Amino acid sequence: MNQNHAILLIEDNEDDVFFMRRALKAAGIENPLSVARDGQEAIDYLEGNHPFADRTKFQIPCLAFLDLKLPHLSGHQVLEWLRSQEHLRELVVLVLTTSRERRDIDEAYRKGANAYLVKPSSPPELLQMMISVKNFWLKYNNYPSNGAEVSCSAADIQ
């Protein structure tokens, strides 16, 4: 298994997935990136349901980027489910969405989001955001010891 813990991107927009892959690479984030294309697929991935049962290939992520506007189950529903799962409660979830609506922001934090980020309008801005994510969440942030299964550490980034 790769020594770097996986990052999960829960995003249905193919263009956003493309730009995110590029920004993560340019920011020097070498963690493997898995993508779930809708809310139900995200839950299936995190539960290890078929076709995601092979945990050497589909690792429990150390960090998840979660869009709110998803097919099947919304990002809010995914977040609520995720925080109800004992083994995933401490997974870092960064909402990354286009919505600036106060009700979406408030609801995301009520349901346990660690941060709420609005998608930047340009690739250079997305790159700067990912550099900040790398520095704070993957390099400097300290995680609780009881969340070792899903936590990132400075050793996880290059």
- Helix (H) or strand (E) holding 41, with range, is helix 39-47
Nearest to 25 by CA among 126, 136, 93, 122: 126
Task: Express each pLDDT in 80-132 by its tens digit.
Answer: 999 999 989 889 999 999 999 999 999 999 999 999 999 999 999 999 999 99
Task: Express each pLDDT in 4-55 by its tens digit.
Answer: 689 999 999 999 999 999 999 999 998 899 999 999 999 999 999 999 999 8
- pTM score, whole prediction: 0.90
Pick one of 3.30.450.40, 3.30.43.10, 3.40.50.720, 3.40.50.2300 as the CATH number of 7-156: 3.40.50.2300
Beta bridge partners, 10, equal 36, 66
